[in-house]
Amino acid sequence: MKELRGKVAVVTGGASGLGRAMALAFAREGMHVAIADVDAANLERVAGELRSAGVDAYAARVDVAQAAQVDRFAEDARNALGGVHVVCNNAGVSPLGLAWENTLADWQWTIGVNLWGVIHGVRAFTPMLIEQDEGHIVNTASVAGLINPPGSAMYNLTKHAVVALSETLHHDLAERKSKLGVSVLCPAYVATGIADSERNRPADLANPPRDKSPDQLAREAMLRKAVSSGKLSADDIARAVVDAVREDRFYILTHPRIKNAIRARMEAILEERSPSNPLRDA
């Protein structure tokens, strides 16, 4: 999509972090923006920022893990802003822990937001875009969708699935000879609020009070440090997303240095070797 001005972008997870940055980046291009999040208070604040940028905005409290809420948001966003052209399935959470330590609630919450949220977005919005034969879908994965750092089983699993879904969606649209574009965003560490995503965890998926293991505490501290010290900002990533939409580019790899770890994993697969730790290959 070369011309963005006057068209409509949708961003889930739009109340903070990368979602907020994407919404504002599209607004600076003259696009009207619909945002969804579970954080109602910050939703309204960001909607105000969008309107101050001179565009129309629609904000709705949505739990992307719930199909009916995403379906309703898709219809309401289109009705409120007169259409939908760019869809960013961006909402995500990042609890850590060794694969056998995570509770059933941990798995349900992470898969619900990170994977089902993208599935629901693709299912709800793609038919709209196909019908008008114009649009672009951006699914937020991570470099953890291309490599597998230790201590992040749930996050890695969901992000690999988002990459697989995005690649398959690209192929399915190509077979239909559709003009829709698809991108999958795979950033590394970025200064966003994802390290504190526990604040938005639904009560019905909360863990009972318990002491976290030393390993969990250490990994959480490492994640916060890595995220806060990321070389690129959320605004940098958002600008890369806008560029990819304009260029109809599928893979959005914002951190070139991580390609060493991606390459090492691919070579290990082709050579049938055991995987190496990607944190040491990066």
pLDDT of 281: 63
pLDDT of 208: 77
pLDDT of 34: 98
pLDDT of 207: 84
Q: Tell me: the pLDDT tens digits for 117-154?
A: 999 999 999 999 999 999 999 999 999 999 999 999 99
pLDDT of 230: 54
Q: Do 158 and 150 form a contact (C-beta atoms < 8 A)?
A: no
pLDDT of 200: 79
pLDDT of 211: 62
Residues in the chain with pLDDT values less than 50: none
pLDDT of 199: 75
Question: For the domain 8-195+211-256, what is the CATH code?
Answer: 3.40.50.720
Q: What share of the chain is helix, strand, coil (3-state, %, to 5)?
A: 55, 15, 30
pLDDT of 282: 57
Q: Encode 87-125: b = buried (16+ Cβ within 10 Å), e = exposed.
A: bbbbbbbbbbbeeeebeebbbbbbbbbbbbbbbbbbebb
Picking from 66, 36, 31, the residue whose alpha carbon sits closest to that of residue 245 is 31
pLDDT of 263: 96
Measured between alpha carbons, how far is 247 from 202 in angstroms, rounded to an integer?
38
Domain limits, the chain: 8-195+211-256
Q: Tell me: the pLDDT tens digits for 33-46?
A: 999 999 999 999 99
Residue 189 a catalytic site member: no
pLDDT of 279: 81
Q: Is the pTM of this model over 0.75?
A: yes
CA distances from 93 to 4, 39, 43, 172, 197 (A): 29, 13, 17, 28, 5
Q: Of these residues, 58, 155, 189, 251, which one is catalytic?
A: 155
